Amino acid sequence: MKIATFNINNVNRHLPNLRNWLGTAKPDIVCLQELKAEDRQFPQSAIQDAGYYAVWQGQRTWNGVAILARGAQPVLTRRSLPGDPGDKQARNIEAAVNGVLIACIYLPNGNPQPAPKFIYKLAWFERLIAHAATLFKTDAPIILAGDYNVVPTYLDIYPTKSYAMNALVQPAPRACFRRLLEQGWTDALRTLQPDEPIYTFWAYLREAWQRDAGLRLDHLLLNQPAAARLKRCRRRQGCPRRERGQR
């Protein structure tokens, strides 16, 4: 089973790119973040024409998450992260696909910091840690896939001082990510490539893609039954995930 996570940065604007990639890469499950579309604007028909069924939680202008499955209808199990009934931001959706539970995550960016958006980022992370602890105990294979908006270590960012004040690299969200892993989750990409600088995001400016001046913000975390099935994990080749709005 091939599972992918993809910050689409506006699903309708980049629909041709998405459909082309689905046709060539043929992933079995895809987690999309930053749909930037209300529920009624989600391109369900076009995605079905590409051979995929979907569940989604849309949101106007910002946010929005979706899970696509090739040739199968995902069974929706959760539309939001528990712990704060007042939180209306569309950042988490979960579904079962062929015996695997998938959580699609779009963790808050948190910039600028220190400020309310950074406080919200840390509070959201705490809720994720609590929810993940419950999920981890499940006997079924579980994958927490998505854009975590955190650079875990120095190996996950190109040599630079330009991000020193950025919320993506601050000690507090990095500590949250470590606490998440300490529950027993397997970081799929880093487990198979422990010592290699690996990036999943490149900014638009200063030819970052050409210089491979990137950051690793996108992660797939596996519980023990899922980790036992891990064979390969790599970043998508040939098309950078570029800078988008900070939310």
Q: pLDDT, tens digit, for every residue of 167-208? A: 999 999 999 999 999 999 999 999 999 999 999 999 877 778
Task: Show the domains of the chain with their CATH numbers.
Answer: 107-234 (3.60.10.10)
Helix/strand/coil (H, E, C) string of 203-228? Answer: CCHHHHHHHCCEECCEEEEECHHHHC
Query: In angstroms, how far is CA 125 from the centroid of its own chain?
Result: 13
Tens of each residue's pLDDT in the chain, 247 residues: 999 999 999 999 999 999 999 999 999 999 999 999 999 999 999 999 999 999 999 998 889 999 999 999 999 999 999 999 999 999 999 999 999 999 999 999 999 999 999 999 999 999 999 999 999 999 999 999 999 999 999 999 999 999 999 999 999 999 999 999 999 999 999 999 999 999 999 987 777 878 888 999 999 999 999 999 999 998 765 444 444 444 4
CA distances 9 to 3, 148, 189, Å, are 19, 14, 22
Supply the DSSP symbol for 79.
S
Angle at 69 between CA 63 and CA 71, to 5 degrees: 150
Which residue's structure tokens are 């998505």?
146
Q: pLDDT, tens digit, for every residue of 136-148? A: 999 999 999 999 9
